[in-house]
Structure 1
Amino acid sequence: MINKQKLFLYTITIFLLTIYCNALNSNDIRHYLGTRTPYRIKYNKNDSKIKIPHCKGEKIWMLIRHGSRLPSAKDIVGAQTVLQNLKYEILLQHKMGKGLLNKEQLKNLEHWVNDMPVEEEKYLTLEGQDEMVLLAERTHKRFSSIIKQKYDNNSFQFRYTATQRTQQSARYFSIGLFDKKSAHDVVFEPALKVDNTLRFYKHCERWRKEVKKNPKTLAEQRRYGVSGEMNETLGYVSKYLGLDRVLDLEIVSLMYKICGYETSWHKHFVSPWCFAFDSKGVQRLEYYYDLKHYWNDGYGHELTARPACMMMKHLFSTMRNESRNATFLFAHSGTLLKLLAHLQLYKPKSHLRGDAIDEQRTWKTSNIDCFASNLAFVLYRCKDGVKLLTMHQERIIKLPMCETELCPLKHLEEYFYNSIHKCNYADMCNVS
């Protein structure tokens, strides 16, 4: 009887702890920072070796978004001017007894400084370096039979775009993948100024004209920006900070972005610019930016995902390459999101709209495109044929066009026949 009572109490305790932990996660602002979400709270903690019965792993192809980085020059300047002035205004208002920040929050805000050099805009941070090293170590542990400890130039490919953040991401990833001696021997392919594979959208003039520079692309985002939900959040943030005026969306958006950047850089520190956001408010800001990425980088326009066939060509070519067994490509948010759309992953049942937040959406950049996000394909030679395993954020996922997680390579080659064999970049991207 005593044992049964103990078991019952144990079960109840675990149940209540689960509810408590889920509640903590739902209120934890770090889970809703969009493309600036820290990878350390999103990756798969289980790094045990992946074993598939009757199959032998032979190749891995991995696309990796760069790690945590500094903001753009525009946001650095905004932090040093707009937010710096706002900081003093908030502190003054609280001295007059206004606002809801507590003593600890006020102290953190008072000590906040922004000394980021503008000339180092978008540079990889120390946390970004750690993200790459640790990701590589886990990848090697899971696929040690494919990724040999000793580097061989014929077996490995490392490639990055012409940016400091991807170049450094590749470098630190290689340090985590090999021992120090082998890491020094790694040969990185020269970065291309015009890279129609890793950054296929950057020089796609038709996409730039019809989507990126098209005012209609961000219509739903603008619509949500003036919605009742957003106006409620702007009012709440302003009141919480003790201001006599309602902050406009541009300033609150800057707060949200700096909140994300600074929180992603520090493992045990939340930016003071996060303090005024409650759970509801931060999720609304997250949705505001999800609308942008959905319509600009995802399913909003059919043309957006089409040039990602350049990545698909590279993937299937690599899988048929007899000598190379490990390929690591370092790119950007724009690359990853468009490839996810090309693969029909995280596609909502209908277009995301700006009338109200869609809390059940699958297209959520905090989950699918945080810093250091990654997408991997692993080739297995099995008793019943050659198959591909897909992993996103280090978790095994099932592609929509496949019946199981381990998908026959032949089936995928047939499904993506046009992507592999009829991917003409000039035809897709030249403006007629």
Structure 2
Amino acid sequence: MNNYLYTISIFMLIIQCHFKWSLAELKSRNDVINHLGTRTPYRFRFNKHDDRIKYPKCKDTKIWMIVRHGTRLPSAENIMGMYNELHELKNLIILQNKLGKENGISLSGNLNKEQIKGFKDWSCNLNVEEAKFLTLEGKDEMILLAERTRKRFPNAIKHKYDNKTFLFRFTATQRAHQSARYFTQGLFSHSDAQNVEFAPATKVDHVLRFYKHCDKWQKQVKKNPDTYKEQVLLANSSEMNRTLESVTKRLGLSRPVTLDEVNLMYKICGYETSWNKFDVSPWCYAFDTESAEILEYYHDLKHYWMDGYGHNLTYRQACLALQTMFKMFRSDHDPFATFLFAHSGTLVKILTHLELFKPEQPLTAGLIDKTRQWKASYIDCFASNLAFVLYKCKDGDHVLTLFQERPIKLPMCDKELCPLKQLEHYFYDSIHKCNYADLCNLDKEEKDKNSQ
């Protein structure tokens, strides 16, 4: 599908999910829309300042950047949930609020007329075959991210495209592929963007999706029930029961909503708010600040234990991606600018490998720390990105790290601009002892257990 037909197709999909709220109302809902987890739109998080980043007696010479794909459509499972569960809930909300008003019943937190109208106007006709496709908002995120990155590092990112100087890679998914293509449109002129050569995508990619085919991680972490223990505990807690009661009351329903239904509302609240710049999904009106924070934490528990600090192997395997950055910075050969387009699971594991956003204590169901650093709403929104820029300085090579386009100081460094030698020393094992087979292959005993 060419870009024009793709854009029209996605536009038609988006306008088929009808919901309308004013921009003033959107701003008034910031207490909820700032807790959307991995479906948080990038426009809430990016660095608006795009001035060139300069340091005395230093010159930016190389850049290595990894980007989570832009805003996408829901999964096939969630789209079917919109067709079925949410359409059923929508009708129930409208009916029971109408009956409540007619009978003079006043339930605490009932929806107002405008909110009920929002549910009446809401419908969805998304195509399941285009599940997880990039949206128009995702396209804009990539183009604008590239434009700002080019302005900040004009020496490392040449205006003229050269297939020897630039390397672009993406996973074998439509959303990553399209993210890469739109990124190049923001980086180069129209004619140059049309001539960009992309590295061929492969289903097995040990750099961009190392965890997908890491047998040991799949068995010991992803398919390990202990990984989800804390999330299950929160699901069965008094805090979650109060959350379900709160949502039930806010929607004016006479029967209690289930956790599955609330989870679906929460996800679609995020998706629909993300792909529309000026409106907020009516499903967001199911939540107040407290209930949104509980749902946010519920999902953070899963990501912490599966993609973050919960298991050593999870972040150790991210060395496979970081190896490529260190190798590039020490090479005298092309490319000098590398841009990789991957997924939430890739980026979060790399952030953890770098020891960023580590909470003081492991996340548990029993203690919800609202001030925690580990919040997917901030560290894993759509189009999240991590960049390393090599500066040639009078006193040697230095590396600037940027997350969400903001310079950050790595925990093992004294300043934001960190000596390359210091990083190489600290990550020596990541560079020189990172072997995929050693990390990921199951030994014979484990293989035998798996086959039983």
Give the TM-score category using the shorter length. Answer: over 0.9
1:184 corresponding residue in structure 2: 194
1:28-427 matched pairs, under 5 angstroms: 28-97=31-100, 100-322=110-332, 323-427=334-438
Give the C-alpha shift of residue 356 in structure 1.
3.4
Give the C-alpha shift of residue 28 in structure 1.
3.1
What code does the residue aligned with 1:84 have?
H
Give the C-alpha shift of residue 166 in structure 1.
0.2
Q: CA RMSD in A?
A: 1.3
| 8 Å Cα contact 2:31-2:288 kept in structure 1 | no
2:16 corresponding residue in structure 1: none
Give the C-alpha shift of residue 272 in structure 1.
0.8
Distance in 2 (alpha carbons) for counterparts of 1:356 and 1:249: 20
What code does the residue aligned with 1:276 have?
A
| 8 Å Cα contact 1:30-1:38 kept in structure 2 | no
Unaligned runs of 5+ in 1: 1-23
Secondary structure of the equivalent of 2:400? strand
Distance in 2 (alpha carbons) for counterparts of 1:113 and 1:222: 32
Unaligned runs of 5+ in 2: 1-26, 444-452
What code does the residue aligned with 2:305 have?
W
Distance in 2 (alpha carbons) for counterparts of 1:426 and 1:47: 41
What are the superposed Cα offsets for residues 1-59 of structure 1, whole Å, 9 maximum, x if unpaired?
Answer: xxxxxxxxxxxxxxxxxxxxxxx789432211000000001111111111111100000
Distance in 1 (alpha carbons) for counterparts of 2:376 and 2:425: 30
Distance in 2 (alpha carbons) for counterparts of 1:288 and 1:319: 39
Task: Give the TM-score normalised by the residue count of structure 1.
Answer: 0.93
| 8 Å Cα contact 1:229-1:356 kept in structure 2 | no
Secondary structure of the equivalent of 2:143? helix
Moved over 4 A (4+): 24-27
| Identical aligned residues as a percent | 61
| 8 Å Cα contact 1:159-1:170 kept in structure 2 | yes
1:428 corresponding residue in structure 2: 439
Give the C-alpha shift of residue 321 in structure 1.
2.5
| 8 Å Cα contact 1:25-1:31 kept in structure 2 | no
Distance in 2 (alpha carbons) for counterparts of 1:411 and 1:356: 36
Task: Give the TM-score normalised by the residue count of structure 2.
Answer: 0.89
Distance in 2 (alpha carbons) for counterparts of 1:334 and 1:63: 12
| 8 Å Cα contact 1:224-1:356 kept in structure 2 | no
Secondary structure of the equivalent of 1:245? coil
1:20 corresponding residue in structure 2: none
| 8 Å Cα contact 1:227-1:356 kept in structure 2 | no
Give the C-alpha shift of residue 93 in structure 1.
0.5
